Amino acid sequence: MSTVCGIFGCLSDTAPQAIFEGLKRLEYRGYDSVGIAVIRGKKVTVEKNKGRIAEFITSIDTAQIESDVGIGHTRWATHGAPCKENAHPFTDCTGTVAVVHNGVLENFMQLREELLKKGHKFSSNTDSEVIPHMIEEGLASGMSLKDSVVGAANSIKGSMGCVVISSREPDRIICLRRESPLVIGISKKGTFCASDIPALLPFTRKVMVMQDDTIAILKRGKIEIEDLCGHAIKPVFTVINWSQSVAEKGGYPHFMIKEIFEQPLAIKETLKIPLNFIDRAAGLMEGKVYLTGSGTSYHACMSASYQMAKRLGIDARPIHSSEFTDAVSELEGATVVAVSQSGETADTLSAIKYAKSKGAKILGITNTLGSSITIISNAYICTQSGPEIGVAATKTFLTQLTALDMLMLRIGLRRGKLSEEEYRTGRRQLNGLPKTVEEILGSSERIKSLAMKYFTRRDAFFLARGANVATAMEGALKLKEISYIHAEGYPAGESKHGPISLVEPGFLCIFVAPTDSARGRVIGNVMEMKARGAKIFSIITRGDSEMGQVSDDYFEIPQVADFLYPIISTVPLQLFAYNVAILKGLDPDKPRNLAKSVTVL
């Protein structure tokens, strides 16, 4: 389960070859297991395993899967380890139905219980496996394959990009879309479906993006679309003229901007992390608390430490992972929260191994299930960003902050620092994040024009107070790593203690200044900089005319609860860094001297 896996299905003369070709086009996202199901005679034949497509193809006897109808899947594990049993496709008990699924089923436990009582057998610990068994129930009651899929969809809560075949109706593939993308296409080569457009391009450029709660019935040379009530919908196709490299990026010119725009979805998925995961993590937090990470992940630690102190009265010290062994010695009974998108950063692994050897418990927060951090930690939370390809961390940072906020709310409730009502309000506010981030992304053109104005600068300060200092530091890191502009992020009140000596007319100062409890004091810092001729560009809360007036330029963000500003203020800073890099003619996805995962100390 996950919304980030790859799906491909087709009715074509050489279905397995087409499926492998399609899945390879989705593999740029980075996958850990793969599987295929084809119809042969009265049964479906399934091959699946852990690993990548190339190894998989060489490991199977392709003569045994020759067919003209089939489905395939590449999985990037989010829940349930990356292993053969958890790989898709999944079949029903009769072996006549096979399903691949992207998305998260919210009520799968209940559905699984009901199916177990009816005698169904399960072989994985994924949520997706309930789908073929539910379809089996429908078929057993005499329904068609399509109606059985609709019947299953009506009982399932959650997101589904779901593709189904059955040897009982071997001339068709049924596709169902609900909140998880599916595209379909047709040509002389066959009829196709996939989770992303690039996979279809070797076969057809005539594609249609399915809408939520619709079903597509694919046959050779024919596609029918219906809503879940059986009303026919006229298919509307678009001709895609992207180059292959743009295609891999879903139509965006770079992975970084694609990933920035994926943030609402990444947060939405992270907010679905089951409470028992968060509670297990919260239960670990006893004794002294340390937060450790590197680069962007360290900024997430810093932001959380402010919030823990301010909201919960917990003194949680953030320490750069590379400094950890030199900075702490007494760790018996302490908890170390280790944050790392890759889960493989050598500095962070070394910090947690050291902490563990000294008697600390480790809570990992990572975006990569099965990574070293998930193995070493006593408990972990896996953020749901999907693979991040751009070297500059973007969506993984926002989901780290989201997960840390979810954790803090639970800790607050457990420790009596937050009432039930305050907890519920906090969750409601968090749940509004995807929409707010989407709204900010809707104003990305404004950031582009600000980037045009400032991209020739050689230096920049990023300033803020409170938890937004971490955001300012993250904004500075983004700008320096992809645009090679010297940028420093630090607490606004520190300027007068040294850095202000660098300020001369035209020096760029970017203030993160939303209307939180620190905003009044930030104005004073803005005035200090203005008095020395600095150019002020501020991130402000919509309607804050005072801050707007003292700034040369500003970008407005919606009003949210104070604890959410560090998250949403990051978005314009990411967009700023990206646009500056583009204007300077640089490749933001592959900045010089940097690697996505730093596995050396």
Q: Which residues here bind ligand AGP, judged by CB under 6 A?
A: 294-297, 340-342, 345, 348, 391-393, 481, 597-598
Buried b (16+ CB within 10 A) or exposed e, 234-263: eeeeeebeeeeeebbbeeeebbbbbbbbbb
Distance CA 433, CA 402 (A): 9
User: Distance of CA 212 to CAs 95, 175, 177, 228, Å?
Assistant: 28, 11, 5, 10
Nearer to ligand AGP, 257 or 540 (CB): 257
Report the relative pairing of strands 238-239 and 289-293 from DSSP bridges. unpaired
Neighbours of 13 (CB within 10 A): 12
Nearer to ligand AGP, 348 or 570 (CB): 348
Nearer to ligand AGP, 90 or 462 (CB): 462
Least Cβ distance, residue 578 to ligand AGP (angstroms) = 12
Express the helix, strand and coil content of the chain in percent, nearest 5 each.
40, 25, 35
- First-to-final CA distance of the chain: 34
Nearer to ligand AGP, 185 or 295 (CB): 295
One-letter identity of residue 232:
A
Nearer to ligand AGP, 480 or 519 (CB): 480
Query: Which tokens is 479 given?
Result: 């700008």
Of 5, 162, 301, 509, the active-site residue reads: 5
Is 222 in the active site? Answer: no
Nearer to ligand AGP, 107 or 597 (CB): 597
Is 310 in the active site? Answer: no
Q: What is the dihedral of CA 368, 372, 377, 382, to 10 degrees?
A: 0
Do residues 537 and 554 make contact, with C-beta atoms less than 8 angstroms apart? yes
Least Cβ distance, residue 340 to ligand AGP (angstroms) = 3
Least Cβ distance, residue 598 to ligand AGP (angstroms) = 5
Nearer to ligand AGP, 294 or 402 (CB): 294
Least Cβ distance, residue 574 to ligand AGP (angstroms) = 10
Query: Which tokens is 416 given?
Result: 């009596």
Least Cβ distance, residue 295 to ligand AGP (angstroms) = 2
Least Cβ distance, residue 94 to ligand AGP (angstroms) = 44
Order of strands across the sheet that contains 214-219: 90-91, 97-102, 160-166, 173-178, 214-219, 222-227, 232-233
Query: Which tokens is 306 given?
Result: 């402010």
**What is the 3 state secondary structure string of 159-219?**
CEEEEEEECCCCCCEEEEEEECCCEEEEECCEEEEECCHHHHCCCCCEEEECCCCEEEEEE
Least Cβ distance, residue 16 to ligand AGP (angstroms) = 35
Least Cβ distance, residue 594 to ligand AGP (angstroms) = 6
CB-based closest residue to ligand AGP = 295
Nearer to ligand AGP, 345 or 551 (CB): 345
Query: In Å, how far from its chain's centre is CA 393?
Result: 11
Least Cβ distance, residue 244 to ligand AGP (angstroms) = 26
Residue 523 CB-density burial (10 A; 0-12 exposed, 13-18 middle, 19+ buried):
middle
Nearer to ligand AGP, 35 or 572 (CB): 572
Among left, alpha and beta (phi > 0; psi -120 to 50; other), residue 480 is: alpha
Nearest Cα residue to 425 out of 440, 412, 439: 412
Report the relative pairing of strands 508-513 and 535-541 from DSSP bridges. parallel
Of 43, 358, 417, 596, the active-site residue reads: 596
Catalytic residues: 5, 596
